A and B are shown apart, each in its own frame.
Chain A
Amino acid sequence: MVILATNKIRKIYGELENDSYTIALDKVDLTINKGDFIAIMGPSGSGKSTLLNVLSGIDKPTSGEVTIAGEKLNDLSGDDLALFRRKQLGFVFQDFNLLDSLTVKENIILPMVLEKKSGNIINERVEELASLFGIETILQKYPYTISGGQQQRTAVSRALVNEPNIILADEPTGNLDSKSSEIIMECFEKVVNELSTTVLLVTHDVFAASYCHKVVFLKDGSVHSSITRSGRRKAFLEQIIDCQAVLGGRNSVF
């Protein structure tokens, strides 16, 4: 079942008449099915963040269409778009994006509170997610007292709390050490395998990408190539490193 589809989206920054414009995305076609676990990779400036912003409706494409769960994002605007986002999409950010004044639990339940869900449902959901990601013991703590990995797991829980169709993550391991990255990627695996939620993430980190089922490479705003994982993670990792070399991006950290 197709969850997300794009149809020749272009994103141009600046005025076309001027010389100073940038084509950040150039006719990108992307189809994502339910339960997919996809990484988007590419050199810096290749348009990864722009793509994610367009997919989530934060940015409007210059032309082309984005369809999520049958709904055309172009048709939505303002508050409707915000409502759609919080019901259908979950976000995970590089800098976690947690509110300092709220506890871990409060941060997680925030999207449900906005949806005016009842207290019981909220509490049940938090317990479920917290035990899934191993953060039961820190629920009453404040974000600045827990580790980056724990903060990101909190953010993942928050992204999932409203049972979205798809989770979008921009460099979710960008601020984490390798051990925490591993834990986060395992969390995403659980999201896909146990909750059968679709995950789309943008990353520079080949190691993180190797957890995914498919990697799409962007170059200069368009899809350059994509590879699908068929066997073990280790082999997939090698494959990704090779592709990156072909792409001419920076080399792996290994």
Chain B
Amino acid sequence: MSFNLIVMKMAKANYKKYTFYVLCNSLAVMLFFIFSTLYFNADIVQGEEADSIKYALGIPSITLVLFTVFFISQAHGIFIKKRKSEFGLFMILGMTNRDLGKLLLLENGIIAAISITLGLLCGTLSSRLAFFLLLNYMGLSGVSYQLSADMFLSTITIFLVVFLIAVGRTLFLLFNQDINLTLKSDRVSETIKMKNPVLGMVGVLIIISSILGVFITYTGPNGGDYLIIWTVFIFMGLYLALNQFTSSVINFIKKDDAHYYPRMVPLSNLDYKFKQLTSTLMLVSVMIMVTVLYNTILLFTYTDEKERLMNMNPYDIAFIQSEHHNNLTEEELYAIVDQDENPIEQHITLPVYTFFEKYHDMNWGQFYHVMSDREFSKLRSTTIALEDKEFIYYLNHEAHHNTEGYVFGFHFPAENENEGNYIHVDTIVERNLNHLSNDFVIVNQAEFERIKENREDGFESTIHLINVVHWDETAGVVDELKEIFTTANESSPSISGINGEESPEKFLFQVESKADAYQMNMNINGLSFFVFSFLSILFLFGSFVILYLNIFSTIDKERVKYSKLTKIGLTGHETKRMIAKELAPLFFTPVITGVVLSFLFIVAMATDVGGVVQNPEIMVNFIVVAGIYLLMQVGFYLYSRKKMVSKVIL
């Protein structure tokens, strides 16, 4: 029988082991490929927000590479562990190292080829689906699904590198280690020897002090750099703590027999599980932490920015009209805006007299508008009445901005001798109309008429403020309006004398609408949000699979253990309870660790924007994101528990 035939025969006999291994590798390829369809998507990484998104993708991509490395080497480890007894047998039967090496290389080569093919295929299909669903759901335009050679190449390269290292390591061990030794490498005994509760406490201390460190240094000048250092420390501490966690707990609880005895079996089992799975739990914790943290931050910037943009536009549609610009008759305007299904509810027109003042030495200047106190009062809840020769500076801006000592960029009244001096009685800063041109001078009606009559350095214009029934259905209307205005304004005479794409008029006569503000936020933050929702699903799924595989790779041992327990009289009911007690910590420790760590990071980072107490939305977002994660994990846990029970109780 030829060597190849033997391999074929064995593959057939062991198809289950192979299937498992191939599936794991395909999954790693698939996850990585899905990520690369994001990372190399031209719409995402070459758009306006490319830099910030690439930057934001940094940590997740490192995490994902780490994950891939882990996942593949673990799948390989599990596979080899299952095959070791066979190898041992072959060696005893006289197979040489060379033959064994050839066998390993051959079968792993085939496995790699199948995994790559399968993984890329599934990856292409599922990323396509994910793009479609998410983009549709979020109504994001400007991003499309793409495939490029980079995506395939990077996925294949990374997979092959990790895979080859794993195989190489196995070969090395095979040639350099006594096979009997490798065969017995999986004893519970080894992990029990590593008990060191003090180290566990050290780990917890490192975590606590690093977090304190974050709080102290984050707001400092090099906050960002320190953050990375502290993160590294936190991970180190986390490793120690996870590794020795149950040892510490056992040590503590052992002092009281009444507490210890009833929990003896699950605790001792967890003790070695935690030691065995430290790296996995650690990885999962970090993945969860990164996801929760990023999603909270993003959701916060997204909602915060949305709120800010919406507040900037109290009216659904607003623009300024003058004789030569944006000049539509009321009928023409209504024909566009006043739709049957979305009629105009309110239309305010404010007559103003607009000046332009050019800055010294600069190719730029500023518009300001004179408005009567009567018109101004229409915008506010309280009325204002001014005497002759009195005026108020009014800045159309959010009041919470510090305007103490705000200096207006223009000089009113313009130095015109015959008009006499105006007296500045007050400065008002509040948001009353859309983010148009924001500087106003309020005078009484008589003064306003007089300025209109006598001055020639300005021009009369009208501010239109329109509310419709549904602002969120005005995108089309706004676009139409903008188009008409742009075309009409092309032939208009220049006011400022500054021409070109970025002339002050362009800004003055822009249409400011809620629909645009919303879309702008969508385009900037929605894209990041899309990217991270996508990643979260990937991470959540990946973290579950890696936990699940690890737990279920030792199912045979579990079965033996429970059959031993059954023999000494453990009831079916008690078995179920015990399984639950042993599984729950494995599933929930990483979630809780990840959530708590991300919470602390958020609190630390929120000091930048005044702390979490001042920004309750951050907390709300955090709770939503963490809650979703926790809920999903509960689902995964219940599923695994059911599966475990069915596999253990025969």
Interface residues in A, total, Cβ within 8 A:
33
- B569's partner among A78, A86, A101, A142 (CB-CB below 8 A) is A86
Residues of B within 8 A of A114 (CB): 568-570, 574
Is residue B361 contacting chain A, with contact meaning CB distance below 8 A?
A: no
Smallest CB-CB separation from A158: which chain B residue?
B568
By the criterion CB–CB under 8 Å, are B189 and A144 in contact? yes
Q: Mark A61-102, 1 if CB is under 8 A from B, else 0.
A: 000000000000000001100110111010101000111111
By the criterion CB–CB under 8 Å, are A145 and B189 in contact? yes
Q: Give residues of chain A (98-123) contacting chain B, Cβ–Cβ below 8 Å.
A: 98-102, 106, 109-111, 113-114, 116, 118-120, 122-123
Q: Give residues of chain B (260-286) contacting chain A, Cβ–Cβ below 8 Å.
A: 261-262, 264-265, 268-269, 271-272
Is residue A58 contacting chain B, with contact meaning CB distance below 8 A?
A: yes
Smallest CB-CB separation from B271: which chain A residue?
A101
By the criterion CB–CB under 8 Å, are A99 and B561 in contact? yes
By the criterion CB–CB under 8 Å, are A86 and B272 in contact? no
Known contacts A116-B262, A123-B257; is-contact A111 B188 (Cβ 8 Å): no
Smallest CB-CB separation from A117: which chain B residue?
B261
Residues of A within 8 A of B566 (CB): 82
Is residue B220 contacting chain A, with contact meaning CB distance below 8 A?
A: no
Q: Give B556 Cβ to nearest chain A Cβ, in Å.
A: 14
- B261's partner among A58, A86, A87, A122 (CB-CB below 8 A) is A122
Residues of B within 8 A of A111 (CB): 568-569
A120 to B272, CA, bound (A): 27
Smallest CB-CB separation from A159: which chain B residue?
B568
Q: Give B368 Cβ to nearest chain A Cβ, in Å.
A: 80
Residues of A within 8 A of B574 (CB): 114
Residues of B within 8 A of A89 (CB): 569
Residues of B within 8 A of A78 (CB): 571-572
A98 to B265, CA, bound (A): 12
Known contacts A79-B573, A101-B268; is-contact A118 B258 (Cβ 8 Å): yes
By the criterion CB–CB under 8 Å, are A91 and B567 in contact? yes
By the criterion CB–CB under 8 Å, are A82 and B564 in contact? no
Interface of A is mostly: helix
A113 to B258, CA, bound (A): 10
Is residue B400 contacting chain A, with contact meaning CB distance below 8 A?
A: no
By the criterion CB–CB under 8 Å, are B264 and A106 in contact? yes
Known contacts A100-B188, A101-B271; is-contact A113 B261 (Cβ 8 Å): yes
Smallest CB-CB separation from A88: which chain B residue?
B569
Known contacts A110-B265, A122-B257; is-contact A83 B571 (Cβ 8 Å): yes
Q: Give B158 Cβ to nearest chain A Cβ, in Å.
A: 37
Q: Mark B229-259, 1 if CB is under 8 A from A, else 0.
A: 0000000000000000000000000001110
A123 to B260, CA, bound (A): 12
By the criterion CB–CB under 8 Å, are A79 and B268 in contact? no
Q: Give residues of chain B (564-591) contacting chain A, Cβ–Cβ below 8 Å.
A: 564-574
A91 to B568, CA, bound (A): 7
Is residue B187 contacting chain A, with contact meaning CB distance below 8 A?
A: yes
Q: Give residues of chain A (178-230) contacting chain B, Cβ–Cβ below 8 Å.
A: none
- A99's partner among B564, B569, B571 (CB-CB below 8 A) is B564
A116 to B258, CA, bound (A): 10
A139 to B187, CA, bound (A): 20
Q: Give A175 Cβ to nearest chain B Cβ, in Å.
A: 15
By the criterion CB–CB under 8 Å, are B189 and A85 in contact? no
Smallest CB-CB separation from A58: which chain B residue?
B567
Residues of A within 8 A of B571 (CB): 78-79, 82-83
Smallest CB-CB separation from A86: which chain B residue?
B569
Residues of A within 8 A of B572 (CB): 78-79, 82
Is residue B192 contacting chain A, with contact meaning CB distance below 8 A?
A: yes
Q: Give residues of chain B (543-574) contacting chain A, Cβ–Cβ below 8 Å.
A: 561, 564-574
- B192's partner among A101, A106, A119, A120 (CB-CB below 8 A) is A101
Known contacts A102-B268, A110-B265, A113-B264; is-contact A97 B257 (Cβ 8 Å): no
Residues of B within 8 A of A110 (CB): 264-265, 565, 568
A119 to B268, CA, bound (A): 18
A97 to B187, CA, bound (A): 16
Residues of B within 8 A of A106 (CB): 264, 268
Residues of A within 8 A of B569 (CB): 82-83, 85-87, 89, 111, 114
Residues of A within 8 A of B189 (CB): 100, 142, 144-145
A243 to B269, CA, bound (A): 48
Residues of B within 8 A of A123 (CB): 257
Q: Give residues of chain B (269-307) contacting chain A, Cβ–Cβ below 8 Å.
A: 269, 271-272
Residues of B within 8 A of A122 (CB): 257, 261
- A101's partner among B258, B262, B269, B567 (CB-CB below 8 A) is B269
Q: Give A127 Cβ to nearest chain B Cβ, in Å.
A: 13
A34 to B411, CA, bound (A): 115
A110 to B188, CA, bound (A): 19
A128 to B192, CA, bound (A): 27
Smallest CB-CB separation from B568: which chain A residue?
A111
Residues of B within 8 A of A58 (CB): 567
Q: Give B308 Cβ to nearest chain A Cβ, in Å.
A: 57
The 4 closest A-B pairs by CB, nearest first: A86-B569, A119-B257, A79-B571, A82-B571
Can you show 15 pairs from A to B with CB atoms below 8 A apart?
Answer: A78-B571, A79-B572, A82-B569, A89-B569, A97-B567, A99-B561, A100-B187, A101-B192, A106-B264, A109-B261, A111-B569, A113-B265, A114-B570, A116-B262, A142-B192
Which B residues fall within an 8 A CB radius of A? Answer: 187-189, 192, 256-258, 261-262, 264-265, 268-269, 271-272, 561, 564-574
Extra contacts, 17 of them, besides A118-B258, A120-B257, A122-B257 (Cβ < 8 A), are A78-B571, A83-B571, A86-B568, A91-B568, A97-B564, A97-B567, A101-B268, A102-B265, A106-B268, A110-B264, A113-B261, A113-B264, A114-B569, A119-B257, A119-B258, A144-B188, A158-B568
